[in-house]
Amino acid sequence: MTFLSPAALWFALVGAGIVALYLLKVKRKRETVPSLEFWRQLLLESQVRSLFQRLKRWLSLLLWLAIAACLVLALGNPVVTAGSIKPETLVIVLDNSASMQAVEKDSGGRTRFELAREAIGRLVAGRPVQGKLMLIEAGARPRVVSGFQNDRRQFLRELRSLKPRIEPGGLGAALAMGRRFAELHPDAKLIVVSDGADAAKPQAGDVLHWKVGQTRDNLGIARIAVRVHRQRGEHHAFVRVVNALAKPVSTQLNVEVDDVTVRVEPLEIAANGAWEKTIVLQKPEGGVLRVAIDRDDALGVDNEAFAILQPIRQATVLLVSPPDSAPYFREALLAMDAFVDRQSSRILDPADYERLGPQRRTADLTIFTDCLPKGRDDARAAVFVNRVPESLVLKSLGPLGATRITAAGDGHPLMRFVNFSGVGLARARQFDLQNGTTVLAKSPAGVPLIFLVESPARRALCLAFDLLDSDLPVRNSFPILMRNAVAYFGIERQGWLPAQFRPADFVELQRPLPAGVKTVTVETRHGGAGTSQGYPARRNLGNGPTQSIGAVKVTIGDETAYCAVNLADESESRIAVAALGDPAAPQIAQSRQLLGLLPWQALAVLGCVMVCLEWGSYHARWTE
Amino acid sequence: MSEPLFDREFLRKLEYLNLLSKRLVFGRQQALRQSVKKGASLEFREFREYVPGDDPRSIDWTVLARLNELVVKLFRHEEELHLWVLLDASRSMDFGEPNKFDVARRIAAALAYIGLCNMDSASVVPFSRQLRPGLERMRGRGRVFQMLEHLTDLRADDETDLPRCAQEFVSRVRRPGLVVVLSDLYGLAAGQAALDRLRFFRHELFVIPLADRRELSPELRGELRLFDCETGGHRDLVVTESLLKKYRRRVEESREELRRYCMRYSIGHAPTTTDVPFDEFLRKVLETGGLVA
């Protein structure tokens, strides 16, 4: 038993006063009567029960002590603690992940989330008034829904205000947050109300787990990914489907591109097993891929998944070079024929380039070697070798001479698979770079030798050394670097948004907005449910249409991009209920069974009953 | 200084009661006061056969001469009418507001005055544990002031022993008379024993149980130590409403039992309380003719 107001137990000293009053002889009021004859006769009647008469005095004392004890205990507000339940302060973590949206047919078709809210409501209804409550929502990111408070109505209002989410679970982070809050109250108890379908699966012993849900009837798409085979002009879609049931399941997977079924894959999945396949799609023009499991099960949100099939195209590259420098680049471009459109790509000397006029802007990439464009440069993306335009740097610091080169931009797409070990450079030069310039390679002394200058209007890769007198052209790294440049500046230009993300992900644009564009519109693929958001005032676009499974269209200025929103979380699709800690339900049920009526109320009622008994006893106790 | 027990107003009320008694009671009662005993008065009552032992002087010689039978001639016996007022002077009478003993003394004085005026003699005998010195066999109205002075000096004292006093009374007073017992009559059994004793000696009895309202329905509550003003003993009680109900019921039963006893033996019975003025009480008694059975 725990007392919520232990200070009130000091009132127990009243008991000593009661005993003293009974032990001390109370001075009786004196009255004179003409005769005690009748009083004596009445006393004789009572003496028949003389033993009871003597006991009545002590019974009265015991009654008063019991009354005082009841009232003092009631003031102390005791709470019966069953097992490890100490319900004075409860930190309740409510799992609001996607698996909690599973429909429990045995519970009247309600979702686990609804059952969890009802369970919390019942739990709160049986708590003492002084008991503080906190509610933490465990979605992809933990969120405090209700801070420590003992206003149950407010708590229940905030509980009812919770909306179900289609998010991967984040119980681990929520429990960590709950523990931090629980540490503020030594008597706090952490209760997680969940189905246990979480990747983290915390097993901490200080957590009581109120399980919700029973069903395991679910098949879910756990993963979808698309890659491009440029040589064949194909898209390869990898799909993984998991079976949460403890028995084999046979069904089919429908594959649609732009709402047209292109394939039906039979699914034969073993108990608790998984099905994986790479589906080849001949859709070089691109489109929106949708795969859907043709089965009605408990969790519907993981029965479909989307992916964006980007159009497969080749880049147009202009090589502007004096004739003696061109062969290296020609060989490099030939080595990546899947990336370069040979029909439209050309090798030009500087004079021809100047004569080309507006066609210069049609090229995805222009490579300048040993030369610079004259006048206004129209190239959207360019690679400058040996010579760097003055507009891209602050100033030249003079020659550096021969040197070694080391990669500095690890992880940058331009430096993917590029290895500079053993490469010697000749006639390198030093430049004072502008702010925002990305250094991709440098000398051992830290002098930038390969750097990237990006602005909304123009992007340029600069090689600040003499390429033809260096080792680099004869190394594998050179064609790889050129291939990366073609991909980065041309055909694989980074999208505005990730090709795929989950509903709760923090989504922001991956490229700076073009000049003059202030608004980004996000809407479902076929329009509707759109949101226009000021950008970059709110960088996160992860709300609105991106909170539901499907494909969304993002409009930025005159550009349009597509991306897919998928749950694609195997732990959420495997909805079988798992234990996260000590089972809470039996202990809470036992506590409620023991409590029945809250103890302080029961004690107060008992005290009142005993006061009535003492009142009756007082009237019956008419003689000593 | 307390008011005098017998003031001018009291004497005026006595005169009024005396007149009332002459008209209502004793004028009629005197004719009824003839004794059932055969005696030697001039009023003939009946003839009876002679039995040995009869006074030969009562033989009717004329009848003997005519009928040759011995008969005796009986005459109605006339007795003196004596009034005895037995006044309870125990400490239990010194209670109440107005004081029970004061009221009792006023009633006793009034009865004695009426007796002096209408009867052959009147006596006021106080008693407590035993008979105390009183004024006995007073004759004539000239003894009134002596009687009042005696009653004024009388004090309530000692405990009551009514049976003993009755025994003492009948041993001293052989000739039957009208005996008025003026007492609070606590201890009904003892009271009945005393009345039986008086009745046995053929006294005409009239009982006036006198009580204070607070005796009948005490206004007591709570944890009390009750002192008996007569014996000095005490009892510790927690007086509750239920106990008071029982007390009142017990008092009522006691008074009812006394009433039934008096009715059974044709004893005059006129209970009263101290809040009833003595003259009103006596006037009612005289009007109902209950004083002389």
Å between B118 CA and nearest CA of chain A: 35
Question: DSSP string spanning A266-324?
Answer: EEEE-TT-EEEEEEEE--TT-EEEEEEE----S--TTSEEEEEEPPP--B-EEEE--GG
Tell me the pLDDT band of A8, cut-offs 50, 70 and 90: confident
Are A622 and B240 an interchain contact pair (Cβ–Cβ within 8 Å)? Answer: yes
Are B100 and A38 an interchain contact pair (Cβ–Cβ within 8 Å)? Answer: no
What share of chain A has pLDDT > 70, as a percent?
82
Tell me the pLDDT band of A526, cut-offs 50, 70 and 90: low
Q: pLDDT at position B7, please?
A: 80
pLDDT of residue B190 exceeding 70? yes
Question: DSSP string spanning A378-418?
Answer: --SEEEEES---GGGEEEEEEEEEEEE-EE--TT-GGGTT-
Cα B87 to Cα A72: distance, rounded to the nearest angstrom: 63
Question: Are the beta carbons of A472 and A478 closer than 8 angstroms?
Answer: yes
Cα A588 to Cα A582: distance, rounded to the nearest angstrom: 11
Which of B226, B240, B243 minimises the CB distance to A33?
B226
Question: Are the beta carbons of A500 and A307 closer than 8 angstroms?
Answer: yes
- Residue of chain A minimizing CA distance to B216: A38
Highest mean pLDDT among A251-260, A318-327, A525-534: A251-260
Range in A191-205, A525-539, B167-181 the model is least confident about: A525-539
Q: Which one is predicted more confidently, A11 or B44?
A: A11
Å between A70 CA and nearest CA of chain B: 27
Cα A577 to Cα A202: distance, rounded to the nearest angstrom: 14
Average pLDDT, integer, range A590-611: 69
Q: Is the dihedral of CA A12, A14, A18, A19 positive or negative?
A: positive
Q: What residues in A contact B225, CB-CB < 8 Å?
A: 28-31
Are A34 and B229 an interchain contact pair (Cβ–Cβ within 8 Å)? Answer: yes
Give the position of tokens 């009271």: B191
Q: Note whether A34 contacts B: Cβ–Cβ < 8 A.
A: yes
Which are the contacts of A453, defined by CB distance < 8 A and separation ≥ 6?
A: A392, A434, A436, A437, A438, A459, A460, A462
> Crossing angle of helices B8-21/B278-288, nearest 10°?
0
Tell me the pLDDT band of B274, cut-offs 50, 70 and 90: very high
Cα B161 to Cα B190: distance, rounded to the nearest angstrom: 8
Question: Are the beta carbons of A47 and A53 closer than 8 angstroms?
Answer: yes
- Residue of chain B minimizing CA distance to A57: B238
Tell me the pLDDT band of A575, cut-offs 50, 70 and 90: confident
Q: pLDDT at position B22, please?
A: 62
Are B235 and A40 an interchain contact pair (Cβ–Cβ within 8 Å)? Answer: yes
Cα A216 to Cα A218: distance, rounded to the nearest angstrom: 6
pLDDT of residue A238 exceeding 90? yes
Average pLDDT, integer, range A111-131: 80
Are A35 and B92 an interchain contact pair (Cβ–Cβ within 8 Å)? Answer: yes
- Residue of chain A minimizing CA distance to B223: A28
DSSP A374: -
Angle, alpha carbons A433-A434-A436 (nearest 5°): 115
Question: Under an 8 Å CB criterion, which residues of B touch A?
Answer: 92-93, 95-96, 100, 184, 186-187, 212, 215, 218, 220, 222-231, 233-243, 246-247, 250-251, 254
What share of chain B has pLDDT > 70, as a percent?
87
B229-232: list long-range contacts, CB under 8 Å, 24+ apart.
Answer: B229/A32, B229/A33, B229/A34, B229/A35, B229/B91, B229/B92, B229/B94, B229/B95, B230/A34, B230/A35, B230/B90, B230/B91, B230/B92, B230/B159, B230/B160, B231/A36, B231/B159
Question: Are the beta carbons of B75 and B33 closer than 8 angstroms?
Answer: no
For residue A480, give the nearest of A527, A418, A432 by alpha carbon.
A418
Are B235 and A26 an interchain contact pair (Cβ–Cβ within 8 Å)? Answer: no
Q: Note whether A615 contacts B: Cβ–Cβ < 8 A.
A: no
Range in A314-318, B5-9, B140-144 the model is least confident about: B5-9
Q: What residues in A contact B95, CB-CB < 8 Å?
A: 32-34
Which are the contacts of B34, defined by CB distance < 8 A and separation ≥ 6?
A: B43, B76, B77, B78
Q: What residues in B contact A621, CB-CB < 8 Å?
A: 238
- Burial class of B267 by CB neighbour count within 10 A (0 to 12, 13 to 18, 19+): buried
Q: What residues in B contact A618, CB-CB < 8 Å?
A: 238, 240
**Terminal CA-CA length for chain A:** 39
Are B237 and A39 an interchain contact pair (Cβ–Cβ within 8 Å)? Answer: yes
Q: pLDDT at position B162, please?
A: 92
For residue A34, give the nearest of B250, B145, B156, B120 by alpha carbon.
B156
Strand-pair category, B121-127 with B82-88: parallel
Are A34 and B224 an interchain contact pair (Cβ–Cβ within 8 Å)? Answer: no
pLDDT of residue A555 exceeding 70? yes
Average pLDDT, integer, range A215-244: 90
pLDDT of residue B35 exceeding 50? no
pLDDT of residue A594 exceeding 60? no
pLDDT tens figures, B108-136: 998 888 888 877 788 999 999 999 998 88
Cα B107 to Cα B183: distance, rounded to the nearest angstrom: 11
Q: How many CB pairs under 8 A join A and B?
A: 91
Are B96 and A618 an interchain contact pair (Cβ–Cβ within 8 Å)? Answer: no
Q: What residues in A contact B224, CB-CB < 8 Å?
A: 28-31
What share of chain A has pLDDT > 90, as a percent?
15
Q: What residues in A contact B222, CB-CB < 8 Å?
A: 29
Q: Note whether A30 contacts B: Cβ–Cβ < 8 A.
A: yes
- Residue of chain A minimizing CA distance to B212: A34
Angle, alpha carbons A485-A491-A496 (nearest 5°): 100
pLDDT tens figures, A134-150: 999 998 888 899 888 87
Task: Determine which of A25, A27, A28, A35 to mutate to test the interface with B (most B C-beta atoms within 10 Å).
Answer: A35
Question: DSSP string spanning chain B?
Answer: -PPPSS-HHHHHHHHHHHHHHIIIIIHHHHHHT--SSEEEEEEEEEEEE--TTS-GGGB-HHHHHHH---EEEEEE-----EEEEEEE-SGGGS-TTTTHHHHHHHHHHHHHHHHHHHSSEEEEEEESSSB---EEEE-SGGGHHHHHHHHHH----S---HHHHHHHHHHH--S--EEEEEE---SHHHHHHHHHHHHHTT-EEEEEEEE-HHHHS----EEEEEEETTT--EEEEEE-HHHHHHHHHHHHHHHHHHHHHHHHTT-EE--EETTS-HHHHHHHHHHHT-S--
Question: Are the beta carbons of A485 and A414 closer than 8 angstroms?
Answer: yes
- Name residue A266's beta-bridge partners: A252
Average pLDDT, integer, range B26-35: 44
- Residue of chain A minimizing CA distance to B211: A34
- Residue of chain B minimizing CA distance to A40: B235
Cis peptide upstream of residue A399 (ω within 30 degrees of 0): no
Cα A360 to Cα A382: distance, rounded to the nearest angstrom: 11
Strand-pair category, B222-228 with A29-33: parallel
Average pLDDT, integer, range A579-585: 66
Q: pLDDT at position A619, please?
A: 63
Tell me the pLDDT band of A210, cut-offs 50, 70 and 90: confident
Question: Are the beta carbons of A133 and A127 closer than 8 angstroms?
Answer: yes
Range in A275-279, A337-341, B87-91 the model is least confident about: A337-341
For residue A28, give the nearest of B223, B229, B226 by alpha carbon.
B223
Q: pLDDT at position A65, please?
A: 87
Average pLDDT, integer, range A120-145: 81
Average pLDDT, integer, range A347-365: 82
Q: What residues in A contact B238, CB-CB < 8 Å?
A: 618, 621-624
Q: Note whether A25 contacts B: Cβ–Cβ < 8 A.
A: no
Q: What residues in B contact A37, CB-CB < 8 Å?
A: 186-187
Both tokens of B113, joined, read: 């005055």
Q: What residues in A contact B215, CB-CB < 8 Å?
A: 33-34
Cα A556 to Cα A522: distance, rounded to the nearest angstrom: 9
Helix (H, G, I), strand (E, B) or coil at A241: strand
Q: Note whether A21 contacts B: Cβ–Cβ < 8 A.
A: no
Count of CB atoms situated within 10 Å of the CB of A6: 11
Cα B179 to Cα B83: distance, rounded to the nearest angstrom: 6
Average pLDDT, integer, range A346-365: 82
Which are the contacts of B196, defined by CB distance < 8 A and separation ≥ 6?
A: none
Q: Note whether A528 contacts B: Cβ–Cβ < 8 A.
A: no
Question: Are the beta carbons of A229 and A220 closer than 8 angstroms?
Answer: no
Highest mean pLDDT among A32-41, B27-36, B280-289: A32-41
Average pLDDT, integer, range B252-270: 92
Instruction: State the DSSP H helix or E strand holding residue A226, giving kind and residue range, or none if neither.
Output: strand A219-229
Question: Are the beta carbons of A434 and A394 closer than 8 angstroms?
Answer: yes
Task: Determine which of A21, A38, A47, A621 to mutate to test the interface with B (most B C-beta atoms within 10 Å).
Answer: A38
Cα A495 to Cα A560: distance, rounded to the nearest angstrom: 10
pLDDT of residue A81 exceeding 60? no
Q: pLDDT at position A243, please?
A: 93
- Name residue A33's beta-bridge partners: B228
The ipTM (two decimal places) reads 0.80
pLDDT of residue B20 exceeding 80? no
Highest mean pLDDT among A541-545, A575-579, A587-591: A575-579
Which are the contacts of B198, defined by CB distance < 8 A and separation ≥ 6?
A: B166, B169, B170, B179, B181, B205
Are B96 and A34 an interchain contact pair (Cβ–Cβ within 8 Å)? Answer: yes
Question: What's the mean per-residue pLDDT of chain A?
Answer: 81
Task: Determine which of B99, B184, B234, B249 to mutate to test the interface with A (most A C-beta atoms within 10 Å).
Answer: B234
Count of CB atoms situated within 10 Å of the CB of A370: 17
Which are the contacts of A163, defined by CB distance < 8 A and separation ≥ 6?
A: none
pLDDT of residue B32 exceeding 50? no
Q: Burial code of A22-34, b = ≥16 C-beta within 10 A, e = fewer?
A: beeeeebeebebb
Q: Where are the alpha helices (DSSP H) in A131-170?
A: 152-160
Question: Are the beta carbons of A297 and A286 closer than 8 angstroms?
Answer: no
pLDDT tens figures, A251-280: 999 999 988 999 999 999 999 899 999 999
Q: pLDDT at position B40, please?
A: 53
Are B228 and A33 an interchain contact pair (Cβ–Cβ within 8 Å)? Answer: yes
Tell me the pLDDT band of B36, cut-offs 50, 70 and 90: very low
DSSP A466: B
Are B215 and A37 an interchain contact pair (Cβ–Cβ within 8 Å)? Answer: no
Å between B202 CA and nearest CA of chain A: 30
Task: Determine which of B99, B238, B255, B257 to mutate to test the interface with A (most A C-beta atoms within 10 Å).
Answer: B238
Are B251 and A38 an interchain contact pair (Cβ–Cβ within 8 Å)? Answer: yes
DSSP A623: B
Q: pLDDT at position A304, please?
A: 92
Q: How far does CA A310 lie from the centroid of its chain?
A: 27
Q: pLDDT at position A462, please?
A: 92
Average pLDDT, integer, range A148-175: 86
Average pLDDT, integer, range B14-35: 56
Cα A510 to Cα A531: distance, rounded to the nearest angstrom: 19
Instruction: State the DSSP H helix or E strand holding residue A33, giving kind and residue range, or none if neither.
Output: strand A29-33
Average pLDDT, integer, range A177-194: 85
Q: Note whether A26 contacts B: Cβ–Cβ < 8 A.
A: yes
Q: Note whether A618 contacts B: Cβ–Cβ < 8 A.
A: yes
pLDDT tens figures, A389-448: 888 887 888 888 888 888 876 778 889 889 888 888 888 989 988 887 889 999 998 899
